[in-house]
Chain A
């Protein structure tokens, strides 16, 4: 081993480096502690959480399984999230293309407006949508609120800002020369888009689909007023349960939720390196 490398290893770390590392560890602890706490609690064999637990148990998971509202909520949430992502991502992608590539007046304003839903509190947007749906129901003479379609439409609004943001970023980082090279090799505009542009946008679109799904899947506030009987999403079902009881059953449900999101992120990361896109 070269002498300089050895010196580097044995050198006393500077104060700044120690401080930096400490801050990083503290930041990670702050981020992961609540998650770890929920997962841990779901195995504690007592109703009121105390430490250390008297014993560990699977009972809360069995309890959650016995409550039909959770399983139904999970299925509804998965359905809504898939539909919302499937509808919102193409719309957001088209909007991102128009914003980055298009030449039209008011481009900047439209770009800003598409990100605006991120700034509106979910409850406020939910109330607004509720009132809008009531008006629309009267005008169209058909049910909108408390239907799956109404809920999906609302969740599409959640997915668009994320998609626009991620796809705009991936388009801005895209090497236009590759498109010119394709044209140079004889590809017409549509072929260039299909064979070159779209595949190069893929990481951004995949990341957008994942984030859209997660946004919808774990949304509580926007959905509160829009769900209907028998069409309750998992987060709303959890809140309902909380109104009557506080026990680790919820922690068990939340752990399953965390697991689904976690698996989704790991799988997505295998296809596109998320750290490079987001």
Chain B
């Protein structure tokens, strides 16, 4: 599971548990299951102690600060959805004694896309790299022509991948390929 997916699940679980606990507590009080602990069911929702609290100016200061913190956290939660592990530069020489050689990732993925799109079976290709810069994972989406045979389209994709791996001198670079079917 990637970081964003895990974060989303943790966030949903926290909000879910809070809603569940609040709802159960209110229901227990309304049904007078534990009047000794939570108070009587006939009491108003806003009682005098809470009213006194709301009359203090510092109550609103604390409330505003807490809410601003929550708002910032919630906005950050939305912000990380666009987070990606995209690699922009590829490191070709990992031995630091001889210096480092790198190239833009676009150059490698662009050549692969051109190779794939030159095939009569394939209409469109989109490649991207993710993970670490020395052993990046290739993410490839290829759209085959509706008239093409799937076996031929897949074979052509594998050939292009072989050429890409040879050119990059990464014979077993990991790749995830999504095959799409054109309309």
Chains A and B are bound partners: no
Interface residues of A (CB under 8 A from B): none
Interface residues of B (CB under 8 A from A): none
